[in-house]
Every structure is written in C-alpha cells, then in structure tokens.
Amino acid sequence: MTNHRKATIAARFDAAHHYEQAASIQKRCATTLASWIKKEHRTEKPKHILEFGCGTGLLSRALIEAFPQGHYHLTDIAPAMVERTRYHCAALPAHIRCYVMDGEAPLPHQTPPEGFDLITSNLCLQWFEDRARAFQALTQFLRPGGRLMVSTLQAGSLHQWRESCHATATACGVPDYPTLTQLEQDWPAHGQGVWRGEAMHDPIPSARDFLQGLRRIGASLPRHTHRPAAQLRKAMRYFDAHYDHVTYHAAFGLFQKGV
C-alpha cells in the first residue's frame, strides 16, 4: 500500500469522531471475536497481547474485561484512534500501552522476549494490500503455540449496494473482498489456521444513511481505481426502492503458530 493511501486511511479514521455511535457491525464482530478468543484461551490465559487496528477500543475493552492480568499493546495506524482507545481504557485494570503502528508493517514496542501469546484485530485486515505478507510479519512476533485471531470482511459483503450500482450503471467503490478460500491460502506455513464465516444484516433506512454511516466510521475510502460517479443518486434511488438493509459477510480467523 502506498504511503499516500495509508495516510488517507489514517486521516479518515482520525476524523471519525462519531465512530462508536455508528459502528454497529464493528461492535457485533468485536463481541463475536472476543467470545471466540475467550473460548480458545479458557484453560491458559494470554499474558502478552498485541492488537493492531484497535480503533476506539471495542475489542480491547472486551479482552481486558476477560483477561485483566494481561499486558496489552493496543495499536492503530490513526493517531486519534490510539488516543480514543487510551481514553476508553485508562481506568481499566490491566497493564496497557497504546501507540501508533501500521499492522501491515508491524514493529511492536518492547516485544516480550518469548513473543506474544495473542495477536488480534477486529475488522482491520480489509484495508491491507498484502494479507499474506502481513500475516507472515505479524506471526513472527508470536511465541511458539501463540495465536493470531482476527476478523475481516469476505466476498459478498454489501451486495445490496453493489446490485444498486450495477442496475444503474453506476461505478461502485466497494472493494473486492476475498473469499474464505483466498483467506485460507494467505496463512503462513509455520502453523495451522482456520476461517469461518458469518452473515450479519444491518438495517438501513436509506442509501443516504448507508453512505453517511461509512463516513462516520471513517470507512468511506473506495477501491484504488474508483472514480466518483455522477449518477450516484440513481443508485441511491434504486437502493431505497429495493432494500432496507445491507449484509456484511464477516470472516473470523484463527492461526496457531507451530511449537
């Protein structure tokens, strides 16, 4: 990913002042991911935890509640998001470090000598240009037997908006999300990984609300080749006539490093 695009992504999330109010799918994915993490660690609690793309700390808070004795590295590419997480987690009973880090080129501060027990992220991977390379880099910081547990979006997400654009010959800026098979192919060779999918329906009063919601959470940056469509209003009218929700196909992944 170019430095310019990374800077644009960071700037949009920095400006997402109403993220928590608008991030309904992010909250649902964070709850699902946190529950899976707790299940996988029910017999051995993770001590050293790295989160990339922490946002405002939705997943962070759930994990700290579950593992209050943990040592947390909470990171994001957007400085303002790091500060929001710092604010939300300030009073929580855990050892917490918050700092800026690009999850696609990870350089954790003061990595524990034995490595992290858990590296995690909620709905951040869809912004990466090269997931396989990022997974390879991130898992180098796991201890043997440690886990990488993440969520992202998969193919089929937002198909209602895609169909509205297609039906009106409107350029669609929704990215091409990977299939579960493509995600499985991205896992590193030095361990075992699985993915599972879950469809989540988000009620939307109108196309305007849908597009404004993306802006409110900083997720309105389109794919590289997208150009703004002059006939956008046609797609919005089509959506309003045919749909009252959008569907997100979430993917939840677990990779365990070999011992």
pLDDT of residue 1: 47
b/e 77-86 (16+ beta carbons within 10 angstroms → b): bbebbbebbb
Q: Is the pTM of this model over 0.85?
A: yes
pLDDT of residue 149: 98
17: which residues sit within 8 A by CB, 6+ positions away? none
pLDDT of residue 13: 61
pLDDT of residue 38: 98
Residue 7 to residue 12: CA distance in whole angstroms = 9
Strand, coil or helix: what is 237? helix
Fill in the amino acid letter for 228.
P
Closest CA to 173 of 247, 228, 231: 228
Q: Contact, 41 vs 108, CB < 8 A?
A: no
The CA–CA distances, whole Å, from 257 to 9, 118, 133, 248 equal: 30, 10, 15, 29
Fill in the amino acid letter for 79.
P
Domain boundaries, the chain: 3-155+175-201+249-257
Going residue by residue through the chain, which has 259 residues, state the pLDDT in tens, using 9 for 90 and above.
457 667 766 666 655 555 666 678 899 999 999 999 999 999 999 999 999 999 999 999 999 999 999 999 999 999 999 999 999 999 898 999 999 999 999 999 999 999 999 999 999 999 899 999 999 999 999 999 999 999 999 999 999 999 999 999 998 888 899 999 999 999 999 999 999 999 999 999 999 999 988 887 656 555 544 455 568 999 999 999 999 999 999 999 999 999 9
Assign domain 3-155+175-201+249-257 to its CATH superfamily. Answer: Vaccinia Virus protein VP39 (3.40.50.150)
